[in-house]
Amino acid sequence: MQLEVLQRKENPLLKRVEVTFKATHKAEPTPTRDALRAFLAKELKATKDIVVIDYQASTFGRYETVGAAKVYKSREEALAVERKHILVRNKLIEPEVKEKEAAPKPEKPAPAPRAEKAEKPGAPPKAEAPKAEAKPEAKPEKGAPRDEKKPAAKEDKKPAEKKEEKKEEKKAEKKPEGKKKEAK
């Protein structure tokens, strides 16, 4: 693998050197982040633990990888300035494991409920039986008068339901039944 430094910029405020690079790797797979850090450390005369690679990208069909890296004066400077996820990618710090994920969750029963559902094949046919009994009513013909259904006991209903029922009855009375156009 050949490494070429395309641009080098000193950044004295953050105590680092910012570098863009191009690595050519013929007949080899795309280099890992660790391999690139080692090559950059050798090229820039630094140690591997103060080199941080921001990104690296390979182009499909080419044997080139381009990217950007930063070389700090010390490891402490790198840890103070860089974002945590970049430090984890470069293996300068260990990833934080959340306590919730690490502890087993006793609240969720895993396979037991699923097995019970599979053992009860009788439950779904019971649900289907009432559906089969309910048949749609035949629609009255256009010329035939409509039969309106009225509930048997109106005393059981709430006052709001009574009002709605009266409104529906009035609407039904106001609608003319089947106006026919006269043929000329």
Q: What is the pLDDT of residues 5-39, one digit of tens each?
A: 999 999 999 999 999 999 999 989 999 999 999 99
Cα 90 to Cα 15, 69, 80, distances in angstroms: 19, 11, 15
User: Alpha-carbon distance 20 to 8, whole Å?
Assistant: 7
Locus of tokens 């890992």: 32
pLDDT digits (tens, 9 = 90+) for 122-172: 555 555 555 555 566 666 566 555 656 655 555 555 677 777 888 888 877
What is the distance, to the nearest Å, from the Cα of residue 43 to the centroid of all Cα atoms in its chain? Answer: 42
Q: For the chain, state the CA radius of gyration.
A: 39
What CA–CA distance (Å, rounded) separates 143 from 157? 33
Question: Is 41 domain-assigned?
Answer: yes
Residue 136 lies in a domain: no
Per DSSP, the residues of 13-69 read TTTEEEEEEEEE-TTSPPPPHHHHHHHHHHHTT--GGGEEEEEEEE-TTSSEEEEEE
Domain total in the chain: 1
* Residue 91 and residue 34 in contact, taking contact as beta carbons nearer than 8 Å: yes
d(CA 64, CA 1): 10
> Which one, of 42, 51, 100, lies nearest residue 73 by Cα?
51
Residue 166: predicted pLDDT: 81
Which pairs with CB-CB distance under 8 Å and at least 24 residues apart come from 145-153? 145/177, 146/172, 146/177, 148/172
How confident is the model at residue 17, as a pLDDT? 96
- The reply to whether the predicted model has a pTM over 0.75 is no
Residue 162 domain flag: no
**CATH number of the domain residue 61 falls in:** 3.30.70.330
Residue 54 has pLDDT above 80, yes or no: yes
In a domain, 138, yes or no: no
Look at residue 141 and tell me if it is in a domain: no
Q: Is residue 176 part of a domain?
A: no
Evaluate whether residue 125 is within a structural domain: no
How far apart (Å, rounded) are the C-alpha atoms in residues 148 and 2? 89
Domain assignment of residue 32, given as a range:
2-89
Give pLDDT tens digits for 58-117: 989 899 999 999 999 999 999 999 999 999 999 999 988 877 655 555 566 555 555 555
Report yes or no on 56 lying in a domain: yes
Which residues lie across from 3 on neighbouring strands? 23
